[in-house]
């Protein structure tokens, strides 16, 4: 039974044992999960693309991280139905802001009623469309440099490097960028002939390239965590 429930969420945990992952969820995540997040998670589980959602343990982690760094001005690239967005909106103060970008407004609007009911929709500025032109415009404007406390990226892996080139300018010194899926279903260590799903194989090289680039970037300190599908936190130091 635990095995099925685990897959329902759309995530294969990186932990070797499903039972251990289930233990984490049932002991520390689900009992403390805000009602709105539970509702959004269950609603998303019914969606055909539910593999794209942020896992509940990662939602809990992001929520605490944002409080620990006192984040107020944040950005999210890749929203889907908004589970990590809601985790962020609940964590930041009432006058906090999230610039949220996604190419698909319909998915966002699926979760929006839950976000509205939670009373945090006023913190969100949603923009539909590709993020890169928006980031380029912000950099050109000049007034957004070093203004973001936290940025979360869970979008098209083939553009992560392109996002990073811009986000490093926009996040403040001491601020954090989180890149999701940096262990990419564990495929980062799969042998060349491993039978991988087509989309996993396609994006794997981009994820490997990103991981190398982040490790070599002297402007950031990094920490790669086996939470969800792997999340790399980058703290800007210069």
Q: Give the pair of three-digit tokens for residue 212.
A: 């190398």
Selected residue with higher pLDDT from 46 and 31: 31
Give tens-digit pLDDT for 117-163: 999 999 999 999 999 999 999 999 999 999 999 999 999 999 999 99
Residue 112 pLDDT > 70: yes
CB 146 within 8 A of CB 116: no
Q: How far apart are CA 96 and CA 4, in angstroms?
A: 38
Give tens-digit pLDDT for 154-207: 999 999 999 999 999 999 999 999 999 999 989 999 988 889 999 999 999 999
Give tens-digit pLDDT for 216-237: 999 999 999 999 899 999 999 9
For residue 174, count CB atoms less than 10 angstroms from its CB and return exposed for 0-12, middle for 13-18, buried for 19 or more.
exposed
Which letter, b or e, does each residue of 42-72 get, where b requires 16 or more Cβ atoms within 10 Å of its Cβ? Answer: ebbeebeebebbbbbbbbbbbbebbeeeebb
**Predicted pLDDT of residue 149:** 98
Task: Out of 3-7, 51-55, 73-77, 197-201, give the one with best mean pLDDT.
Answer: 73-77
Domains and CATH numbers, the chain: 2-236 (3.40.50.150)
Q: Give the pair of three-digit tokens for residue 124.
A: 């969100």
pTM: 0.93
């Amino acid at each position: 039974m635990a095995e099925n429930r685990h897959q329902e969420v759309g995530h294969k945990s990186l932990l070797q044992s499903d039972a251990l992952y289930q233990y984490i969820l049932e002991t520390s995540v689900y009992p403390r999960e805000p009602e709105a997040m539970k509702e959004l998670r269950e609603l998303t589980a019914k969606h055909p693309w539910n593999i794209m959602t942020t896992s509940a343990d990662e939602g809990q982690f992001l929520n605490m991280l944002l409080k620990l760094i006192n984040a107020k001005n944040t950005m999210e690239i890749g929203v889907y139905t908004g589970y990590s967005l809601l985790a962020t909106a609940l964590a930041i103060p009432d006058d906090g802001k999230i610039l949220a970008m996604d190419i698909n407004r319909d998915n966002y609007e699926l979760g929006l009623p839950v976000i509205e009911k939670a009373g945090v929709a006023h913190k969100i500025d949603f923009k539909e469309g590709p993020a890169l032109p928006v980031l380029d415009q912000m950099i050109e404007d000049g007034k957004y440099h070093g203004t973001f406390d936290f940025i979360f990226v869970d979008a098209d892996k083939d553009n992560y490097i392109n996002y990073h080139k811009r986000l490093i300018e926009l996040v403040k010194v001491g601020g954090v960028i989180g890149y999701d899926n940096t262990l990419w279903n564990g495929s980062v260590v799969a042998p060349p002939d491993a039978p991988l799903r087509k989309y996993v194989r396609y994006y794997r090289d981009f994820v490997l390239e990103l991981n190398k680039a982040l490790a070599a970037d002297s402007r950031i300190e990094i920490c790669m965590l086996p939470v969800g599908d792997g999340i790399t936190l980058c703290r800007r130091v210069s």
